[in-house]
Structure 1
Amino acid sequence: MYGNYYYYGIDWTYLLILAAFVFTLIVQSVMRGTFRKYSRIRSGSGMTGAQVAQQILASEGLYGVQVLQVSGDLTDHYDPRNKTVSLSQTVYGSSSLAAQGVAAHECGHAIQDAKGYAPLGIRSALVPVANFGSSAAWPLFFIGLLFQLPVIMKIGIFLFLFALLFQLVTLPVEFNASHRAMKKLKGMNLMSREELGGARSVLSAAAMTYVAAAATSLMYLLRMLILSGAGRRDD
């Protein structure tokens, strides 16, 4: 079994994971650097992230969506279950370009929810199966690989597909939310043209983290397929 993907005692398929890991580190570093840069630039309007969020939501008639402050750094998110836009401490009370851009992005998700944006609904429905798949896939796969049980390996791969599907569906959801955010910031005159460029840089850098997550999942799936194929050839 080992001869197909082991060279000099080293499993070369780990290179796939290493490449994805390095790519993710680079993307995260760029994202955090971009966020820090524009966190130091105060917007001309002086509005905080929370105030921008409230104005955007009001412009869409979403008065039932609450804007809350949550602890942590870059923990901002929208929860469609209880209709809340949660902004981190570095966004909620800050009037920086980064804070306003992130707040607008989370409101973009609220607008998606209100308008019945299909990919958001699909992503929400995938959460439980994706969580189960990501936690159960690898243990099952390696049990099947260790004991040469192809059916168990296939079950592991099948479960992992749900985690990958979640990552892929997340991409249009996040890019669309950023598009809606930029449209609102511009249309409501919440930022000048120069400031919009800063907000766009922040959202673009953040979006790349989701691209990196999807790429990582693809590399894990490829590794599974290579290992399972090697195991079958050795039988």
Structure 2
Amino acid sequence: MGLFYDSTYLLVILAALISMAVSARMNTIFSKYQTVRSYSGMTGREAAMRILHQAGIYDVTVRHVSGKLTDHYDPRTKTVNLSDAVYDSTSVAAIGVAAHECGHAVQHNTDYVPLKVRSAIVPAANLGSQLFWPLFLIGLIFSLPMLVKAGIWLFVLALAFQVVTLPVEFDASRRALKMLSEGGMVTETEHDGVKKVLWAAAMTYVAAVIGSLLQLLRLLVLSGAFRRNDD
């Protein structure tokens, strides 16, 4: 089985290279537009508040959170959480990221189906991501095919969450661009910059799905090696 273990590391390396390349691209684009001041002079927080109010949403709070690119919308607490580089920044990148997170708030407010599905499978996805490898590895070591299969199916649950996340993220970016344009918060030139920032961010989710698909392929190859050695 050692041959299969060695060869599958190529899939791990490929996934890591894709992730690093996409992350580097994201950081480069974000850093570029982080230095470009928006014509409106609005901060990320101000842009978020205006977008929420324009959408008729008054029960969502905009909060500051520490860290870099830690921005997120929490449907449980109805909060748009903006990072250090976004909350008080007047850059084009900051306004774009803030608008994106507001896009999630609008999704929540309108009962956007993919968002509801993603929220519903969070517990199962978390369980799958934590348990798939221990079960799979124990199954291989002790020749227990049922544990091997269980590990694979648990990983599929985690992968399903990532796949459902894609339409949620792309839709939030689409909403963000539309709301910024309709609200007159960005110029035509700035619109292109925001689009680049949001597209680069979306690609990180695509890279994560590709990486997980490669991991699934690795599990299937290893389980095939297990079956052949067990015969």
Task: Give the TM-score of the pair, scaled to structure 2.
Answer: 0.98
1:180 to 175, 188, 193: 175
2:159 alignment counterpart: 164
Match for 2:212 among 208, 214, 217? 217
> Do residues 22 (structure 1) and 12 (structure 2) align?
no
1:67-125 superposed Cα distances (whole Å, 9 cap, x missing partner) = 00011111000001111000001100000000000000000000000111011111111
Q: Which amino acid aligns with 2:158?
A: A
Alignment-derived partner of residue 141 in structure 2: 146
CA RMSD of aligned residues (A): 0.9
Correspondence for 2:72 among 77, 80, 93: 77
SS in 2 for 1:61: coil
Q: Could you report, residue by residue, the CA deviation over 1:54-76 in whole angstroms, capped at 9, with x for unpaired residues?
A: 00000011000000001111100
Amino acid at match of 1:169: V
CA distance in 1 between partners of 2:26 and 2:143 (Å): 42
Matched with 1:102 is 97
Give the Cα–Cα distance (whole angstroms) in 2 for the partners of residues 194 and 107 of structure 1.
21
Does residue 1:135 correspond to 2:130, yes or no?
Answer: yes
The CA distance in 2 between the partners of 1:23 and 1:218, in whole Å, is: 12
State the match for 1:200 in structure 2.
195
Provide, for residues 125-157 of structure 1, a one-character-per-residue CA deviation record: whole Å limited to 9, x for no partner: 121211111111001001101111110000101
1:106-125 alignment runs, 5 A limit: 106-125=101-120
Q: How far, CA to CA, are the matches of 1:126 and 1:22 in structure 2?
A: 28
1:10-89 alignment runs, 5 A limit: 11-89=6-84
**What secondary structure, in the 3-state scheme, does the structure 2 residue paired with 1:116 have?**
coil
Secondary structure of the residue that 1:112 maps to in structure 2?
helix
Q: 1 CA distance for matches of 2:211 and 2:63?
A: 32
**1-structure distance, mates of 2:10, 2:183:** 48
Q: Secondary structure at the match of 1:12?
A: helix
Number of paired residues? 230
Aligned partner of 1:27: which letter? Answer: V
Distance 1:107 1:2 in 2: 49
Structure 2 Cα separation of the partners of residues 16 and 140 of structure 1: 20
CA–CA separation in structure 1 for the residues paired with 2:36 and 2:161:
34
Q: List 4+ stretches of structure 1 deviating above 4 A.
A: none
Distance (whole Å) between structure 1 residues aligned to residue 10 and residue 113 of structure 2: 36
Identity, % of aligned positions: 57
Give the 3-state SS of the residue equivalent to 2:150 in structure 1.
helix
Structure 2 unpaired stretches of 5+: none
Greater CA drift, 122-131 or 87-96: 122-131
Q: Structure 1-normalised TM-score? A: 0.96
- Measure, in 2, the Cα distance between the counterparts of 1:12 and 1:38: 41
